Amino acid sequence: MTEESVTPFTPHDAGHVADPDDALEAARRECPVSRVSDVLFVVASDTDVRAMFRDSAAFSNRGNFTIGREDRDHAFPGITNLDPPVHTELRSRLLRSMAPKKLRALGPHVARVIARALDGLPPSGEVDLHRDYIAHIPSAVTYSMIGLPEEYWAEVEVLADALVEAVPAPETSMPEYDRLMELMGRVVRDRREHPEDRRDDVLDNLCFAALGEREMADLEVVMHLRQLFAAATDTTRALIANCVYRLLERGDWARVVADRSLLRNAIEESLRFDSPAQFMTRSVVRDTVVGECPVAAGHKAYLSIQSANHDEAAWGSTARQFDITRQVAVQHVAFGRGIHSCLGAPLARMEAYMAIDALMDHYPLMAAGHRATWEKCGGLLLRRPKEVWAQLVGDIPAVVGTVAGQVAE
C-alpha cells in the first residue's frame, strides 16, 4: 500500500480502530487536526495533544470517552469526566489514599498476588500469558486497594471488563452495568453500616468524610469506585501484555533477563509504543485554535495518545520502532498530562515491573509461542494483543540439569 492510499485516522472506521498506526501516521502527515464528523476533531500531533491536556480552561473533560454528540450522562460523573472545582476536590480526596507513597506501600500485596498468579502457570509448555497470568494481577491489586471484599472479586471483574470493552457505547443500557451498580451499592452500604470494619482504603475514604469534606451519597461513592475499576484494571493488564509481547517478539527477553536494569525503560518504551489508553476526549468550551486550525466551542476533540507517542516530530525517524534503550521514552503521554494526569501511574509501573521481573526469574528462557500474533483486542479505548502466546521453559538450573543429563548419556 502506498503512503497516499492510506486515509487519515478516524475512530468511526472499524479498520482504523483495529489497526490504527498507518492511518494515524497519515493523519500526522496530512492533517494533524482533522474534522471527522459534524462534532468531532481528531488531534494527532504530540505538541497539540500535550497542549490540550494542559488547557483545562478551553477543553472540558465532560463527554470524555465519547466520540458522538451525546455525552455519557450520569448523575455523578467519575473523576475523568469532571472539571474544576468539583474535580479538584475529588482528586485531592482520592490522593489521600492514592499518593505515590501509599501506592508503593502496596508492594508486598502486589508480590503476593503475583506469586499466586505464577503458581497457576505450568513449568513448561505453550500458554496464553494474558489469560493465564496477566489478567489476574491488576484486578486483584485494584480491588484490594479499594477495599472490595474478596467474595465480590470474580463477578465484579467480569462485569467491569464488559463495560470497558463497550466504550464508547452508552453503558447504562447494559445489564452488566445494572448488576455492577447493585453489587457496589451493597458494598458501600455494608461499610457504612459497619464502621467497626473501617480500614485505610479507598472505600473508607469515600464512605466517610474527613473534617471539612463533603458527605457523598451512596450512589456517588459507587460511581467513583466504578470509575476506578475501569481506570486501573484493563489499562495495567494491557501494559504488562504489550511489554511482554514486544520483548518476546523482538528477541529482547534474554537481554533484559541478563540485565534487569533495562526493564524500567522497556516498560516506558512499551507505554509509548503501545499506549494502553488510546485516546481521551475533550469538549471544546470556547472558540480556540488547535495547531493552526480554528476549533469552535461545542465540538469535541479526540486526543490521540497513540499518535502523539508515535509522532516523528517528537520522537524522530525511529518513532514507530520499539527500542528498549530509547533515551527519553519516559516523556511519553500515555498517562496524560495536566490536572487529570493519571493518579495510578506509580502503581501501574510497579505492577508491570514486578509481574515481568517475576516471569523473568521463573522463565528466563521463555520465547514467543508458535501461535503468537498481534491482533488488537476489541473496543475503541484499549490497545493490547488479544492473546500473548508464549513457550514456557523452566528455570536455568533445571534446563542446565537436563542438558547435563543428555551430555552424560
Smaller CB separation from ligand HEM, 348 or 372: 348
Cβ count within 10 A of residue 50: 18
Chain centroid to Cα 235, Å, comes to 2
The set of cell numbers assigned to 257 is 533477563
Q: Are strands 389-392 and 367-368 parallel, antiparallel or unpaired?
A: antiparallel
Q: 316 Cβ partners below 8 Å, 6+ apart?
A: none
Q: How far is the CB of 81 from ligand HEM (least distance, A)?
A: 8
In this structure, are residues 313 and 27 in contact, taking their beta carbons and an 8 Å threshold?
no
Q: How far is the CB of 339 from ligand HEM (least distance, A)?
A: 6
In this structure, are residues 388 and 404 in contact, taking their beta carbons and an 8 Å threshold?
no
Chain centroid to Cα 1, Å, comes to 31
Q: How far is the CB of 205 from ligand HEM (least distance, A)?
A: 12
Smaller CB separation from ligand HEM, 36 or 202: 202
Cβ count within 10 A of residue 101: 8
Q: How far is the CB of 79 from ligand HEM (least distance, A)?
A: 4
Q: Which amino acid is at 206?
A: L
Scored b (16 or more CB within 10 A) or e, 55-79 reads: ebebbbbbbbbbbeeebbeeebbbb
Smaller CB separation from ligand HEM, 34 or 64: 64
> Could you give the CA distance from residue 104 to residue 346 in angstroms, rounded to a whole number?
7
Smaller CB separation from ligand HEM, 97 or 391: 97
The residues that touch ligand HEM, with contacts defined as CB under 6 A, are 61, 64, 79-80, 91, 228, 231-232, 235-236, 239, 276-277, 280, 334-336, 340, 342-344, 347-348
Smaller CB separation from ligand HEM, 70 or 89: 89
Q: How far is the CB of 231 from ligand HEM (least distance, A)?
A: 4
Smaller CB separation from ligand HEM, 299 or 391: 299
Q: How far is the CB of 176 from ligand HEM (least distance, A)?
A: 21
Smaller CB separation from ligand HEM, 235 or 283: 235
Q: How far is the CB of 123 from ligand HEM (least distance, A)?
A: 29
List the one residue out of 67, 233, 221, 219 whose CA is nearest residue 161: 233
